[in-house]
Structure 1
Amino acid sequence: MRPPKYLGVYSQPSAKADGSRKTLFFVWELAEAGYAVQQLDSAFQPRAEARRVSAARFAAHFRAEPSILAMPMTMLDVRALADLPESPAPTESESKAPELDGDLLSGLDNARRAKQTEITLRENFRKALLRLKRPRERQAAITALEQLAAATENISPVHKHMFRDFGAKLRKTAMPDLALLFGKRALELAPEDDHAHFNLARILCAMGAYDEAAAHIHTAMRLDAREALYPRMLAHIRKEKQLRPGKNRPRRTR
């Protein structure tokens, strides 16, 4: 019997005392049909034991949250799960909900593919960073990272955080050319995301592309005028430009 397959974070609509309107869960697809769900707190930590729900009830009442990329730290104990009671039977109003809506099933499948894609690409990125440290494998690692930045299969806007993380890691390891590829990719996936503009500006500033960096900070400020970090970053860019006036174009990427 195959182990449970982790699908990601899902939600149920609710009106809670803290004002939130969703209850979040880790979700696994079980080999013997049905699903296991585990309720989460506001920090995405388990607050209850996992429980089993039927496929029909799951399809009717749970919705994927692909933008939340939290993952459980421990494996699901299927043996313990088998001892838990089945979720309460649906009420009369709940039973009227469609059991297996085609759009919902498609959404579940898309979320599953997106999660698996991210797991695979993060592992490939980790391996490429290790290869960068080996002189004989460095060029192959750079090529692998360039290919990763250009990946398109099963890529969706929810992966903006992944590309942002890759860009930030490469910027911190003094590889701005490669970082730029990932920063631009994150922005392509989320052109109205102020954080994507901010992170790209940091990479461009590190490369000496001060005018481009400032332009992205201005865009970030337009998208979120309340963020105090953006004006400080703009002041930093202007200071760097004054200190290094001859350096104001990004280097050509490989």
Structure 2
Amino acid sequence: MGVQEAVSQEERDPIKGIFSTQEVKEIETGTGVRKSVQKTFWFVDEQGDRIEVQPLNANYIPAGKKRFITLEDLIARFQPEPEFYVTTVFPKMQELAETIDRADTHRSNGENFTAEFEYGNALQVDEENVRANFGLGLTYLDRGETSKANNIFERLVKLDAAFEQQHKHLFNEFGISLRKNKMTKQSLEYYDRALELAGGDENLYYNIARAYFEKKDYARCVDFLMKSINTNPKFDVVLKFFDWLLEKNLVPNERVSEVRTVVRTAQIASNRTQQVTDAVGDGLTLEGSPSAGGEPSLEEPSASPSADDVFGADDDDDGLLLE
């Protein structure tokens, strides 16, 4: 009987906790060779048919590069450490989460210096913590301290975990804040990293288009607006952006016909939807524009955009973040 048959996933709870591995190393000394046993602790989290393992740092917090192993590998090479998890690791993880929660609350209340202090405490425990790094970076950007924010950017862009789905809201907010602080080069590098690790969606493509607009690279701006509207044809914010670009003659000549066709097609579809609604009345609820998943932040131009109101130096569309 195989391992999978002996330990059926359907007959047990998912594995989650602390495990250890041991490695025997030979160390040369002046009198010969001495054997040393090195013990490593891992946080193990079973996710569907994959088991994710992450080493603990010196503060007993899961940190560093994650990897995936099979159930067979776990059984063959890892030893469970349930008491260590309950008495040491879980309390440390809980304490770290509470510290970051306090920091987030202070930042949302505009108490940036207190938020910075709390984020700093969290990073002393786990220097690669994604939430704490994003929070500290946003705190610096809120204060206009672009030099300090750039240091955080350089750290975040190297962290694969920063671009995971669970951090998408923070990821979008940070990218937008980089651009608003005239750190356009950094925002584009940051978005390129996101495309590499997580792929694109309509929100990411739109935010990249905004960054290229700031660089006055209108051709690339249109390229990514097209990617956005092709991903989600009902993404009204892109259509408004196209209207504004056409009005200001900022669409490259060779793309004008293509952009006008996209806008006109969307208008026709919208009119047909309205005609059905008018004919049926309130008895039928039509599905509106698909949401962005509830998490991503993006900036939406107003219904009648102008250069000053929508894309001016003060970025007055700040109040129109969709979440």
TM bucket, shorter chain? 0.3 to 0.5
User: TM-score, normalization: structure 2?
Assistant: 0.37
User: TM-score, normalization: structure 1?
Assistant: 0.45
Larger Cα-atom Rg = 2
Q: Higher relative CO (CA 8 A, sep ≥ 6), structure 1 or 2?
A: 1
